[in-house]
Every structure is written in C-alpha cells, then in structure tokens.
Amino acid sequence: MRYPKEIKLFFAMILCTGYMFSFSNFGALAFTHFLANSSSFDTNTRIASIDISGLTQDKAISLLKSKQKNWEKSTSIKVAYREKTIKLNLDIFDFQLEQSVESAKSAKQTELLVQIDEDKLNTFLSELSSNLVKNHAIDTKAVKKNLLSYASLLESGNHTIQMDQYLLKKEKNDLLSETSISLGNNGDELANWVKQFPQLEIKPGSSFSLTKTLEDRKITTYSAKTLSRIATAVYQVILPTNFLFTERHISRELPSYAEPGFEAKVDPNKNMDLVFTNSNDEKFFLNFKIMDQTFYVSLNGPKFEYTYKIVQKDKETFQPKTIIQFDAKLPFNSEQVVTDGKEGLIIKTYCEQLDETGEPIKNTLLSEDFYSPINKVIIHSLLMKDSNSTTNEADANQQDGSNSSGTSSNNENETTSDSSSTPNDTSNNDKTVSSKVNNENETNSNSSDLWGNQNEVSK
C-alpha cells in the first residue's frame, strides 16, 4: 500500500511542474504578442519606402496593403527581347505583408518581403521566346532579382527590362537575307566599292544613310548609276526585316537591273538618298562581294523573333500610245522607229509579320511604285500621190471640156491645172483658152451698139 501513495505523489509533482513550465513560457509569448499588437513602432521605422512610425502592426499591415494596390495601378513592367515586347502581369508577385511587419525593426528600414511565382515566370518567358526556357539561354536568377527590386521597393512608373543582357551566351550573326544584281556597265566602280566597303555596321537604334557614308569618308568618285545599283541591292536585303525606311526614291523608268517594287535610286546631286533606321537593340552588318560577275549583298545579325515576308499586290499595267511624226528627208513610203514603246505599271509592296506558328500579326504597306508608260515614236516619210490617179483626173477634165455648153463660166473653171500635170494636159488647157476667146467675140458681135441697134458697127 505504500508504493501507490508514492506513485500518486510523483504524478502530482509532474503535473505541477508541467503547469508552471507552460505558464511561464506560453504566457510570456502571449503577453509579448499582446503587447506587440497594442504597441506602436518607434520613429524612423520604415518598410521599403513606407514610414510606419507610430503605427501598430495591424495598422501597418493595412497601410502596406493600400500602398501595394496603388503600386499595381501606377506601375507597368515590360519585358523586351529583340523586336518583341510583352507586358508583365503583376500577379506574378506574392507580397508577404504580415511577415514584413513582423520582421520590421524599430527606428530602422527593412525590405518588403516579396516572392515570385516561378511557374508563371517560366510561362511568361516562354511566351516571350520559346528558346529562352527550352535552351536555358537566359539567367533566370538574375531576371528574378531585377523583377523583385521593383516590387520590394514599390517603385511605381513604367519599367522596361531588356532580356538581351541576361543571355548566358552571345548569339551568332546569322545570315538573314541576301540578293545579287548584275554589274552592267558599272563593274569597275562596284568592284572599287567592295574594296572600300567590304562590311558596314548598322548600330543599334541608329540610322543608315548611303550618301552620308560616302560623305564621312569624303568620297565623291561614284556615279549616280552605280550608287543606284548599290542602293537597290541594299533595299532588297533590308526589306524582309523590321527596319524602318525614312527616305527612298525611284526612277521615272524601271531600270533593267531592278524588279518592280524593289528599286531604290540614289543621286547626291539631286538630294536623292536611301535612309533607314535600325530600331533593334542589336547591331547588324551589311556585307558586299563580287560573285560570279554579280554584285552580292547580304545582311547578317541575330535572328528575329518574327518572320517578315514581302508580298506584292494590286499590280496594274498601262499600254503605251503610238506617236507618228513626218520627216521630208526620209525616202518616200518609208518609216523609222525612234523609240520602242514600253508599258507602264503600278504595284504595291507589303511586309507581312508572322509569329512562330506562321500566323499573320501585322500587314504593313511599304511602297506604291508607279512607272508611266513610254510611248512608241515612229517617223514617216511624206506621202506621194500615185501618177496613175493623176492621169485619170486629167482625162476626166478633158471630157468635161468637150461636153461643155461653151459658156465662159464653165471654160474658166477648166483653166486651172495641177502643177504636176502632163504636157497633154497643157495643150488641152490651151484649147480651152482659145475657145473662150472665140466665144467672147461671138458674144460681142451679137450685142447691140451704143445706140441700141442690133449688129450695128459703132461709129
């Protein structure tokens, strides 16, 4: 019976000890928590840029929630990669406001605790470019750190992040487009161009001018025809890109080396230039070569995220007119073609922007070129009358004279002859004149005299 009493006493002591231990520890925590909620922060206490001095924890949390909503309304974060820019959805950030207040220290500045949803971040980067996530081509930790800096400090405004600076490897300069045109009569000058300008760099965000390139090096030896060939080739390789053309000219007549819609004319004496702008954040290169008796031009640089396709529409042709001129120096019944006619045309050139799946995004009108028709000019000799037709006309006049009534009015009409009449025609005319004189004498003899008496000789 002795041992059961000792056992009971032992358990009673354990219960008392546990009670006192729990009261001393959990009671202190509860008291501390109560005081923390009821007490306010000291002066100069900040979370990020938000001053929470004199506020309790509950009020500090309410203030942080209000600041967070204002920041989301007044902040825009865009992420750009090459020519593609997408706006970031701010719900990717997870603001831990309560933990931020609990970790705040009086009279000091602490950070606002924010985390990023990695699944949403990877989905966003894949939408920006599928190669960024698949090929692990980007430093995601650095990207997260940059994004968190805007959220943890609640920096409002419009922000843009360039993904190119987070690439783990530098991209190669791939061949983007190429073309070639005939040398024509400008082979020597084009070969000299290749020696002087084997490669031209197009810097990011800069404009390129063909005439300014020559002016910077004080070169004036190239003719307008040579520069136009160069400009046409450069224009063709730049067309399937996102570069912006600010100046371009065409000729009145389409040159033989150019296709409709792809010509560019440059003439420094007439202030004609080819100017375009590289709106990307990467640099590109124009390369010039002489290959197989042709002038070869290529564009190299990082690949575009979109595909650019050149399409031509609404082509119309206009037939030329024929102009006939006369020249007395040409042999009779001959003609000479001075200018061969050439039909005119009008054509529109568009640039279609396609996404990775080939779906069209945008269709931009680049140019509407018009070339007027060239009329055909023919020079004819002076027309000559047939001699047979002239003789027939003379015979007809002779028959009319023999059948006439002998009146002076009809005979007078028969006296007129063509300057090219034959001698027979002249004798006929002479006969007509003598007949006219005889008729006049007969008329006078039958006329009355001065006194009114018939056939009386005047006294």
pLDDT in tens, the chain (459 residues): 455 666 766 667 777 777 676 666 655 555 455 444 457 888 889 998 899 988 998 999 999 999 999 999 999 999 998 888 999 999 999 999 999 998 888 888 888 999 999 999 989 998 888 878 777 788 989 999 999 999 998 888 999 998 888 888 777 789 999 999 999 999 999 999 999 999 999 999 999 999 999 999 999 999 999 999 999 999 999 999 999 999 999 999 999 999 999 999 999 999 999 999 998 988 999 999 999 889 999 999 999 989 999 999 999 999 999 999 988 888 888 888 988 889 999 999 999 999 888 899 999 999 999 999 999 999 988 865 454 444 444 444 444 444 444 333 333 333 333 333 333 443 334 333 333 333 434 444 444 444 444 444 443
Q: Phi/psi of residue 217, each to 5°?
A: -100, 5
Going from N- to C-terminal start, the domains of the chain cover 46-166, 172-304, 307-387
In DSSP notation, 64-89 reads HHHHHHHHHHHEEEEEEETTEEEEPP
Whole-number Å distance between alpha carbons of 8 and 147 = 64
Q: Phi/psi of residue 242, each to 5°?
A: -100, 15
List all residues 6 or more positions away from 154 whose beta carbon is below 8 Å from its beta carbon: 48, 49, 50, 67, 68, 71, 112
State the burial class of residue 366 (Cβ atoms within 10 Å of its Cβ: 0-12, 13-18, 19+).
Answer: middle
Three-class DSSP category at 34: helix
List all residues 6 or more positions away from 102 whose beta carbon is below 8 Å from its beta carbon: 57
**pTM of structure:** 0.66
Whether domain 307-387 has CATH 3.30.460.90: the reply is no
Whole-number Å distance between alpha carbons of 399 and 392 = 11
- Residue 299 burial (CB count, 10 A): 24
